[in-house]
Amino acid sequence: MTEPTVREQLLLRLERAGASVDPSAAAALDDYFSLLARWNPKVNLTALPLDPPGDETFDRLLVEPVLAAEHLEPSNLRGTPLTWIDLGSGGGSPAIPLKIVRPSWALTMVEARERKAAFLREAIRSLHLHGAAVENVRFERFEGRSSADIVTTRAVKLDSALGEAIRLVLKRDGILAVFGSSEASLSGFIVQKSVSLIPQSTTVLTVLRVPRGT
């Protein structure tokens, strides 16, 4: 019996999580994973095992971003192209898998480390991700005042200075979505929802919003 391919393993993990993607998105997610696996030995993009990948690798890098899409799209803006900034994009997850399943969203990945920014640019090029860009700067120096409907982040320490920088780039009704190991909190924001994307997973998606009138 032959070993399942990366795409077959991905589709199985998606099915077990109660999700699915169309064939073109499945192919793009497979291509992203292959690119990540080629670059990772040189750039250290993720500590998760890629050769061979385990269930946690698929869930963390690919399945959770796909599942998160439904929680990030405001009901009144469903189907509308949104402007979105991913903070500290690193190896590209959750940003790239999420972009693959929401191709109309305009994505800017902000990554301060030059080699990781180079990987992200290569991912945009090789995966033909239209409406995606990379800014190789610290987020506090990113110029994007009141420009984003959504800010996403994973494995980034949230403090008051960063919170203020996020507030400056969010539109009035924008949201901050944090992928973490527990419910996130940040001064000046209120928690709108907090969900475990996959049962028994350690990842919690917290969606925060700036209170109106502040």
How much is the average pLDDT of 191-199?
Answer: 91
Tokens at residue 49, please? 């095992």
Band of residue 80 on the pLDDT scale cut at 50, 70, 90: confident
pLDDT at residue number 213: 64
The CATH superfamily of 6-209 is Vaccinia Virus protein VP39 (3.40.50.150)
If one compares 49 and 1, the residue with the highest pLDDT of the two is 49
CA-wise closest residue to 167 among 187, 153, 181, 193? 187
Query: 155 near 90, Cβ under 8 Å?
Result: yes
Tell me: pLDDT of 200 over 50: yes
Tell me: pLDDT of 79 over 70: no
CA-wise closest residue to 12 among 55, 52, 50? 55
Band of residue 76 on the pLDDT scale cut at 50, 70, 90: low
> Average pLDDT over the chain, rounded to whole?
91
pLDDT at residue number 147: 85
What is the DSSP annotation of 53-101? B-HHHHIIIIIHHHHHHHHHS-GGGTTS--EEEEES-TT-TTHHHHHHH
Percent of the chain with pLDDT over 90: 70
The burial class, CB within 10 Å (0-12 / 13-18 / 19+), for 119 is buried
Q: Where are the domains of the chain?
A: 6-209
Tokens at residue 103, please? 């191709």
Tell me: pLDDT of 214 over 70: no
The predicted-structure confidence for 115-128, as pLDDT tens digits, reads as follows 999 999 999 999 99
Q: How many Cβ atoms from other residues are within 10 Å of residue 19's Cβ?
A: 18
How much is the average pLDDT of 160-182?
Answer: 91
Tell me: pLDDT of 171 over 80: yes
Tell me: pLDDT of 192 over 80: yes
Tell me: pLDDT of 73 over 60: yes
Band of residue 211 on the pLDDT scale cut at 50, 70, 90: confident
